[in-house]
Structure 1
Amino acid sequence: MAWILLVAAGLLEIVWALALKQADGLTRFWPSLLGIGTAGLSLALLALSLRSLPVGTAYAVWVGIGTLGVALAGIIALGESVSVFRVICLMLIVTGVAGLKFAE
């Protein structure tokens, strides 16, 4: 159950980061509210997962899911640049997160 909570927390991290991008420095109400609300929920789910998971692994997985998801959303939906080096770096993040999961 802890891993499910952690993955959900990581997916919510993607939502809040993208919402805050749309919030334009917290000047747009609804995207700001969505960003702040999902950030709080993401942190709460992370905290619940930490009841049974090691903090180093859980935090790395949480941040890794968020980092990868936001970077891919930026490339796919927001027209951010993509390069071989950027893709390699994202693959290194995935490899590191997977390694931590299997090392547990």
Structure 2
Amino acid sequence: MTKSWLEIFIGAILEVVWVSAMKHNHSIGSFVLVIAILILSFYLMIDASKNIPAGTTYAVYVGLGSLFVVIAGVLVYHEAFSWEKLIFIILLTVGVVGLKFVTDYEERRAK
């Protein structure tokens, strides 16, 4: 089970990489690299969904990906930071962590 959560986490990090790389995509080689990273990211999410409910997998993957993209935007690309943005990032993180705990609890109860 831990492997599946790790796959979601790595897939979400790769989502930041391919989303950021699209911004700097100026050649066919970089385009191919973006597509390869995108495919690997999706593969990890799909593989994780074999052991974790698909809805939870997708919600956590998208939630973490969004969280990481916003953080990268502020830290790497110097996008605007606001306290409102921080509050919503915290809410998103609480939701993602909550889904993990609820899913783990449901699986233990089912055994």
Secondary structure, counterpart of 2:81 in structure 1? coil
Secondary structure, counterpart of 2:78 in structure 1? coil
| 1:11 Cα deviation from its structure 2 partner | 1.1
| 1:41 Cα deviation from its structure 2 partner | 0.5
What one-letter code is carried by the residue in structure 1 that aligns with 2:10? A
- In 2, Cα distance between equivalents of 1:40 and 1:34: 10
Aligned residues: 101
What one-letter code is carried by the residue in structure 1 that aligns with 2:6? I
Residue 21 (structure 1) aligns with: 23
- In 2, Cα distance between equivalents of 1:82 and 1:29: 33
Matches within 5 A, 1:1-104: 1-23=3-25, 27-104=26-103
Provide the aligned C-alpha RMSD in A: 1.2
| 1:34 Cα deviation from its structure 2 partner | 2.5
Residue pair 1:18, 1:35 contacting (<8 A) in 2 also: no
TM-score if structure 1 supplies the norm length? 0.90
- In 2, Cα distance between equivalents of 1:64 and 1:30: 29
| 1:52 Cα deviation from its structure 2 partner | 0.6
Residue pair 1:75, 1:81 contacting (<8 A) in 2 also: yes
Which has the larger Rg?
Answer: 2
- In 2, Cα distance between equivalents of 1:70 and 1:34: 19
| 1:32 Cα deviation from its structure 2 partner | 2.2
Q: Which runs of 5+ in 1 are unaligned?
A: none
